[in-house]
Amino acid sequence: MKQYKHILITFIALFLSCATYAQVKFEAKVSKNKLGINERLRVDFEMNKDGDHFNPPDFNNFTVVGGPNQSVSNSWINGVRSFTKTYSYFLSPKRQGNFTIDQATINIDGETYKTIPVKVEVTSAVQVPKDPNDPNYIASENIHLVAEISKTNPYLNEAITVVYKLYVAPNTGVDNWQEIDSPRYNDFWSQNIDMQGQKVQTGTYNGEEYRYLVLRKTVLYPQKSGKLEIEPLSLDIIVQVPTNRRDIFGRRLTTQAHRTVSAGKKTINVKPLPEAGKPADFSGAVGDFTFNVSMSKTELKASESFQAKVEVKGKGNLKLIKLPKISLPSSLEVYEPEHNEDITTNLDGMQGTISDTYTVVPQNKGKYPTPSISFSYFDLKTETYKRLSSNEFVIDVLDGPLNNSSSNAVTSNNVKQPVVLSKDQFAFIKTKTNFTSIKPTYFFKTKLFWGSLLLPFLMIPLAIVIRKKKVERDADVFGNRIRTADKLARKYLSNAKKALGKKEAFYIAMEKALHNYLKAKLHIETSDLSKDKIKTLLSERGVEADTINDFSSIMENCDLARYTPITAVTMKEDYDKAAKTISLIDKQAS
């Protein structure tokens, strides 16, 4: 009895172990559920049976810095097979917050299995354990990203620069890096400076010797006053860290580690421009400038053109400046200006020239004074406002009609000009007005309202009459046939009618029209258009003999008319005869 009991227990144990093995497991496991933004997260997707078409989730809010690494474990213990297959990923968080790693999927034995979503909390940077043998600790101590700002308390629209430098210790190497977070310069006008051809340089960081590389240079012009934030630049870097092991030649071996570095947020305290002494025409120019207005010529003839150029040159927020408008007499015709910029941007900000060039055309003889215009800006050196004014010019138009009515032109001679009164100097008193009522008007119960309401009912009898006429017209078979025939004749002879008066073109067009009509009516090809066959086919269709003879005579006229003198009257008679004949054939043919 005990022997049977032992066999039964063994059988049940084997059955349970087989049942357990048959159950498919597909799970997602994380190395930690809470980590700092400067740490790494390992995610393992583990299954106890091999499958196909593994699809990882979209690791939103994380950067994949390693993987997928695949491992397989297959073992037998006490006659029981144990199988495990794992896909591993190494992730770096992009920002702080509570995130969810979504489901991964795989196909096992024709069925799709999904993992359960895993929640992870990312906190601020945590203290890295100071283990001198830990590659991550070594990388954190030897890699630094720094944002150097030229000035932290600038004036509004004053240029500042941000230079991002990556410092690397001499015994550490960098294989590659990628940006995790790029700074967005809200409330700044920004421009990046070209960084091509940058080389590794030697410098110091915290009093120690480092190598560094300039990653980015950006020029900023603050557009509002107060405390403004510059968002950080964050990088994920693959670092080669030295170890305590050495190769057979005694050289120190290295291992690879991932390091996330950030330049951190920077706060800029922007000072507003002073209100004391601010000119009324100040438009926001800040820097050091010169101002000039020039004319391409000051003596010319009427209807000739010259160019008036307004130019600002110097260092400052040139691309943000609005140039003053030139002031010219109304007697001169002035066109819209052409704007030009010749600006370079470096670590000192924008430098160069901006200008507006006006094309001016005088219409009358005389001397035209151009008054001075001014340009105001805030000088950063003296921290005061400055005003620059242009010279005055006199445009002397030497030849052309006199402009007696212009008050802006000074005539070239000293003789007083007679006063000429215009016929339209005084306007007549208007007897009709366009006054509008101040009382509101309403559409309800107006004549238009009642008319719009009754119009659909009044249209019903008209629609009945139109429909009745249409039915009668459709029933008139003979009349419809006549109308269709006339329409067909006009269609085929339209080109000939356009050529009336041009003998050769007219008869060629009419001959083509007659041929095309016969081809469509009799269903024959051009090669079969002989006179005898045409007569036979028309006769078989029931066309009268007189109509057939008229058609033949028209065809003969088309051949003979090219070689004999023909008048416009004769061409009109032939056109009318052709139209009448086509219409008769279409009516008579069955």
Q: For residues 359 and 542, what is the distance between their CA atoms, to the nearest angstrom?
A: 80
pLDDT at 90 over 60: yes
* pLDDT confidence of residue 92: 83
* pLDDT confidence of residue 420: 45
What element of type H or E holds 194?
Answer: none
pLDDT at 290 over 80: yes
* pLDDT confidence of residue 20: 43
Q: For residues 4 and 11, what is the distance between their CA atoms, to the nearest angstrom?
A: 11
pLDDT band at 445 (very low <50, low <70, confident <90, very high): confident
pLDDT band at 407 (very low <50, low <70, confident <90, very high): very low
Q: Enter the tokens of residue 273.
A: 């421009």
Find out whether 153 and 215 touch, Cβ atoms under 8 Å: no
* Mean pLDDT (whole number) for 8-35: 67
Residue 412 C-alpha from the chain's centroid: 56
Cα 62-67-70 angle, rounded to 5 deg? 140
| Model pLDDT for residues 469-503, shown as the tens digit of each residue | 877 777 766 555 556 655 665 666 777 777 777 77
pLDDT at 5 over 70: no
Find out whether 412 and 367 touch, Cβ atoms under 8 Å: yes
Write b or e for each residue in 283-294: b if 16 or more Cβ atoms lie within 10 A of its Cβ, otherwise e. eebbbbbebebe
* Of the listed ranges 50-54, 59-63, 524-528, the one predicted with least confidence: 524-528
Among 56-65, 155-164, 326-335, the range with the most confident prediction by mean pLDDT is: 155-164
Quick one: which of 507, 512, 514 has its CA closest to 560?
Answer: 507
Among 244-253, 390-399, 425-434, the range with the most confident prediction by mean pLDDT is: 390-399
| Model pLDDT for residues 450-471, shown as the tens digit of each residue | 888 888 888 888 888 888 887 7
pLDDT at 406 over 70: no
- If one compares 534 and 416, the residue with the highest pLDDT of the two is 534
- If one compares 575 and 45, the residue with the highest pLDDT of the two is 45
* pLDDT confidence of residue 163: 93
Quick one: which of 229, 165, 176, 238 has its CA closest to 202?
Answer: 165
Q: What residues form DSSP beta bridges with 260?
A: 236
* Of the listed ranges 213-227, 266-280, 322-336, 526-540, the one predicted with least confidence: 526-540
* Mean pLDDT (whole number) for 385-397: 91
pLDDT at 213 over 80: yes
pLDDT band at 418 (very low <50, low <70, confident <90, very high): very low
pLDDT band at 8 (very low <50, low <70, confident <90, very high): low
- For the chain, the distance separating the N- and C-terminal CA atoms, rounded to the nearest angstrom, is 114
* pLDDT confidence of residue 19: 46
Find out whether 100 and 116 touch, Cβ atoms under 8 Å: no
Write down the mean pLDDT value for the chain.
Answer: 80
Find out whether 54 and 72 touch, Cβ atoms under 8 Å: no
Strand positions, DSSP E, 195-337: 201-205, 208-222, 226-230, 234-246, 252-262, 266-270, 286-295, 299-300, 306-316, 332-334
Reading across the β-sheet that carries 111-114, which strands appear in turn? Answer: 52-55, 105-108, 111-114
pLDDT at 309 over 90: yes
Quick one: which of 93, 86, 104, 99 has its CA closest to 44?
Answer: 86
pLDDT at 423 over 80: no
- If one compares 39 and 354, the residue with the highest pLDDT of the two is 354
| Model pLDDT for residues 348-377, shown as the tens digit of each residue | 899 999 999 999 988 888 888 888 999 999
Q: What residues form DSSP beta bridges with 113?
A: 106
- Judged on CB neighbours under 10 Å (0-12, 13-18, 19+), 467 is exposed
Q: For residues 49 and 22, what is the distance between their CA atoms, to the nearest angstrom?
A: 9
* pLDDT confidence of residue 350: 93
* Mean pLDDT (whole number) for 395-400: 82
Quick one: which of 579, 510, 506, 588 has its CA closest to 545?
Answer: 588
Q: How many CA atoms lie within 13 A of 296 on its CB side?
A: 12
Q: Enter the tokens of residue 416.
A: 């007083």
* pLDDT confidence of residue 564: 66
* Mean pLDDT (whole number) for 235-255: 76
* Mean pLDDT (whole number) for 497-513: 77
Task: Determine how many CB atoms are found less than 10 A away from the CB of residue 122.
Answer: 19
* pLDDT confidence of residue 415: 35
* pLDDT confidence of residue 481: 55
* pLDDT confidence of residue 24: 85
* pLDDT confidence of residue 469: 80
Q: What residues form DSSP beta bridges with 88?
A: 44, 69
Percentage above 70 pLDDT, the chain: 82
> Dihedral sign, CA of 49, 55, 58, 62?
positive
* pLDDT confidence of residue 485: 52
Q: What are the CA-CA distances from residue 142 to residues 116, 167, 168 (Å)?
A: 39, 8, 6
* Mean pLDDT (whole number) for 302-317: 91
pLDDT band at 119 (very low <50, low <70, confident <90, very high): very high
Rg (CA), the chain: 48
Q: For residues 232 and 186, what is the distance between their CA atoms, to the nearest angstrom?
A: 12
What does DSSP say about strands 118-123 and 34-36: parallel, antiparallel, or unpaired? parallel
- If one compares 313 and 496, the residue with the highest pLDDT of the two is 313
* Mean pLDDT (whole number) for 140-165: 91
* Mean pLDDT (whole number) for 30-54: 86
What does DSSP say about strands 234-246 and 266-270: parallel, antiparallel, or unpaired? unpaired
* Mean pLDDT (whole number) for 568-584: 79
pLDDT band at 414 (very low <50, low <70, confident <90, very high): very low
* Of the listed ranges 340-344, 453-457, 523-527, 584-588, the one predicted with least confidence: 523-527
